[in-house]
């Protein structure tokens, strides 16, 4: 019996370091819901909609699970899964339909594999105060880039029924990321998106991506840069191979209760008849008091292709902090889009809602 007790004690000591390394699990998210009214003119015809229960006016509704573990020797494991439901509807969302990835980090930096937010999103977020919500110029209905989108499966392009809407570069399926160790306020990394040459011509799997990014933060100044190269088997008309690049820079500077923002993008394809455009924006956020904030953003896109899809957007946002976690908001955006076809017209959207983080 004494020998068994000694053996049990030795085994307990051997496993003690592993028992102390239990993973930490954190659950959080955002609930954003409101009412939105929209008016759109296309080819001289005006349509109006009023919808209750619209989600994501100010931020993306989400349910997030984060797992972290200290592996010892300066190494850490981190796992992340996010589900973005369509609040206000009975439309279900596949589990982990948003960013989900696994990461190992240490003195060498960090290696991440999965479906993660990229450097282009960071550059956009640095250039204006509205994230991917209404008035940002970087949401699902109004993107400042041109060409194929990179948000999961390939979405709207600049041709067809979505002409003039534009695109945004946020994240891509099946990506591998390396980030170097942070040095002072500087960080940099690279993302590689895998391409399947046997995939259907215009599916997400047929698009490969290489993106480099860098950022600098020091005191009131924040700057983010991203350069993305995409290759797909067939161009946007489905005939020949094409290469698309997006170059983006965003910056902001805090001056007391005012934050000034600015950004610039350039989109270009190897076949310039498909994509050849630039965009710029200026924005500001005024913190009127600890609870009340007012933001404004202006975006202009200049398109040099034969379609002449110039467009602009002016957006406003009012935030009222009801608590540290609950925000009442108003968002408004309007502008016009030009097009060589019959898709020209004005548009406006206004949303009123509540966002709660937990």
CA 205 to chain centre: 20
Mean pLDDT of 172-187: 94
Output 228 or 46, whichever has higher pLDDT.
228
Nearest CA to 265 out of 126, 69, 94 is that of 126
Give the model confidence (pLDDT) of 222-261 as tens digits.
999 999 988 765 544 444 456 788 999 999 999 999 999 9
- CA angle centred on 166, ends 82 and 349, rounded to 5°: 80
Give yes or no for residue 349 having a pLDDT over 80. Answer: yes
Maximum alpha-carbon separation in the chain: 92
Give yes or no for residue 332 having a pLDDT over 90. Answer: yes
CA distance 287 to 257: 5
Output 93 or 3, whichever has higher pLDDT.
93
Give yes or no for residue 33 having a pLDDT over 50. Answer: yes
Worst-scoring range by mean pLDDT, 139-148, 154-163, 314-323?
Answer: 154-163
| Residue 217 in tokens | 């933060």
Nearest CA to 154 out of 233, 61, 250 is that of 233
Give yes or no for residue 358 having a pLDDT over 90. Answer: yes
- Quick check: helix, strand or coil at residue 180? coil
pTM value is 0.85
CA distance 118 to 172: 8
165 close to 197: Cβ distance less than 8 angstroms: no
Nearest CA to 251 out of 211, 212, 281 is that of 281
- Domain extents in the chain: 27-357
Give the pLDDT score at 154. Answer: 37
Give the pLDDT score at 53. Answer: 67
Give the pLDDT score at 157. Answer: 39
Give the model confidence (pLDDT) of 258-309 as tens digits.
999 999 999 888 777 777 889 999 999 999 999 999 999 999 999 887 777 7
Q: Could you tell me which CATH number the domain at 27-357 has? A: 2.40.160.10
């Amino acid at each position: 019996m004494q020998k068994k007790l000694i053996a049990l004690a030795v085994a307990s000591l051997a496993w003690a370091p592993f028992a102390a390394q239990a993973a930490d699990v954190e659950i959080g998210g955002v609930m954003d819901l409101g009412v939105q009214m929209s008016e759109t003119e296309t080819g001289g015809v005006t349509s109006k909609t009023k919808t209750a229960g619209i989600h994501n006016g100010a931020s993306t509704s989400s349910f997030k699970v984060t797992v972290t573990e200290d592996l010892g020797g300066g190494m850490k494991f981190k796992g992340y899964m996010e589900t973005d439901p369509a609040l206000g509807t009975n439309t279900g969302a596949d589990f982990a339909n948003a960013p989900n990835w696994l990461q190992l980090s240490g003195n060498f930096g960090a290696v991440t594999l999965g479906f993660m937010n990229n450097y282009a999103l960071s550059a956009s977020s640095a250039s204006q105060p509205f994230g991917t919500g209404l008035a940002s110029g970087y949401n699902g209905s109004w993107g400042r880039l041109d060409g194929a989108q990179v948000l999961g499966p390939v979405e709207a392009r600049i041709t067809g029924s979505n002409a003039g809407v534009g695109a945004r570069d946020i994240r891509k399926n099946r990506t591998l990321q390396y980030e170097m160790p942070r040095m002072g306020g500087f960080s940099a990394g690279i993302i590689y998106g895998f391409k399947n040459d046997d995939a259907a011509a215009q599916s997400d799997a047929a698009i490969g991506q290489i993106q480099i990014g860098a950022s600098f933060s020091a005191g009131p100044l924040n700057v983010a840069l991203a350069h993305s190269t995409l290759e797909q088997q067939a161009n946007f008309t489905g005939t020949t191979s094409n290469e698309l690049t997006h170059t983006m820079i965003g910056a902001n500077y805090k001056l007391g209760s005012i934050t000034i923002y600015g950004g610039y993008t350039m989109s270009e394809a190897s076949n310039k008849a498909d994509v050849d455009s630039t965009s710029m924006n200026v924005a500001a956020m005024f913190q009127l008091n600890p609870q009340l904030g007012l933001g404004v953003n202006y975006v202009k896109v200049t398109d040099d292709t034969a379609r002449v899809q110039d467009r602009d957007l002016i957006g406003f946002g009012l935030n009222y902090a009801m608590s540290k976690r609950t925000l009442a908001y108003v968002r408004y955006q309007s502008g016009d889009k030009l097009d060589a076809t019959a898709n020209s017209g004005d548009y406006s959207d206004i949303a009123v809602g509540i966002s709660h983080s937990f």
